Amino acid sequence: MSVASHVPREVSKSEIPAVPLTIEGASVLHQMFRFNRSAWRALSSSRKEEILSEAQTTLEPMEKNPTGQSALFSLFGHKGDLLFIHFRNSFVELKEAELKVQNVRLSEYLEPTTSYLSMVELGLYESTVKTYSSLTERSVEPHSPEWNAEVTEVIARQKEAMHARLYPQIPDTEYVCFYPMDRKRGEDKNWYTLPLAERQRQMHEHGLVGRRYAGEVKQIITGSIGFDDWEWGVDLFADDPLTFKKLIYEMRFDEVSAVYALFGTFYVGLRCPAASLGKLLEGSLP
């Protein structure tokens, strides 16, 4: 074997992987239901009490589950009446939560309108650019054992550092705003054809806006590529719903949103603890 064969091959920028590193955590399911008020009103008071007692006995422990909570919200407008949000450590546990809701007798009066399946996701744009640049400068070939080992180490380190963000508690706020979104592709603008460093720059600027609202709103981003019809889901939790409008409007002016963002249906809900479910179903505020 010649000496030249031992000389590392220079890696060109075009060979650097375009996909940013991500780390994933809790499995998440949103369930939207319409409530059959006519059928509910036809029930006797004793029957309603039985159904509510069973539902509350099932839902209250789910709200306090130490390995992933559920939360119930009363939706505004015509898109549905109830929104269940479930955070769990795995898809199996998520399915168990879904079945618990399905198996209570109250479900006979709930008509699913839509749902959304996703997983808490943190994009590592800055770490990706830093890591890939370092590897490239050392002429390490993409996807080689050395490359993969360093990427694995970065992911493991970030997962440990961000564990609380990957497996968050559902914030104890009055309101939630949920919406799915995509990054534009096709026509004359395509997010997925931008260089990695450019996407990192735009996402950094985008994140700066959110940080200014850190004390007013809690944002949880979930990835849904391969799980649902959109690419990401966004949950915003706050005690003042005006915060949703201000934050989302301000972000519209970021380049990444103004040029590349596509938004799905927005759902806004008022929190309803399981203990107050009876009031809600009878037409009173929880």
- What are 183-242's pLDDT values in tens digits? 988 778 899 889 898 999 998 888 888 888 888 999 999 999 999 999 999 999 999 999
- Distance between CA 104 and CA 205 in Å, rounded? 46
CA 152 vs CA 22, 129, 143, 148, 282: distances in Å: 11, 15, 11, 6, 53
DSSP state of 213: T
Structure confidence at residue 13 (pLDDT): 57
| Domain membership flag for residue 95 | yes
| Domain membership flag for residue 145 | no
| Domain membership flag for residue 91 | yes
- Mean pLDDT, range 51-69, rounded to an integer: 96
What is the CATH classification number for the domain harbouring 74?
A: 3.30.70.1030
| Domain membership flag for residue 59 | yes
| Domain membership flag for residue 67 | yes
Which amino acids are annotated catalytic? 179
Structure confidence at residue 47 (pLDDT): 98
CA-angle at 46, arms to 42 and 49, nearest 5°:
95
Structure confidence at residue 10 (pLDDT): 56
- 17-51 confidence digits (pLDDT tens): 899 999 999 999 999 999 999 999 999 999 999 99
- Distance between CA 275 and CA 286 in Å, rounded? 9
Count structural domains, the chain: 1
- Residue range of the domain that includes 72: 25-120
Q: Percent helix, strand and coil across the chain, each rounded to 5?
A: 45, 25, 30
| Domain membership flag for residue 173 | no
Structure confidence at residue 2 (pLDDT): 45
pLDDT at residue 167 greater than cutoff 60: yes
List the one residue out of 137, 225, 147, 142 whose CA is nearest residue 181: 225
CB 99 within 8 A of CB 57: no
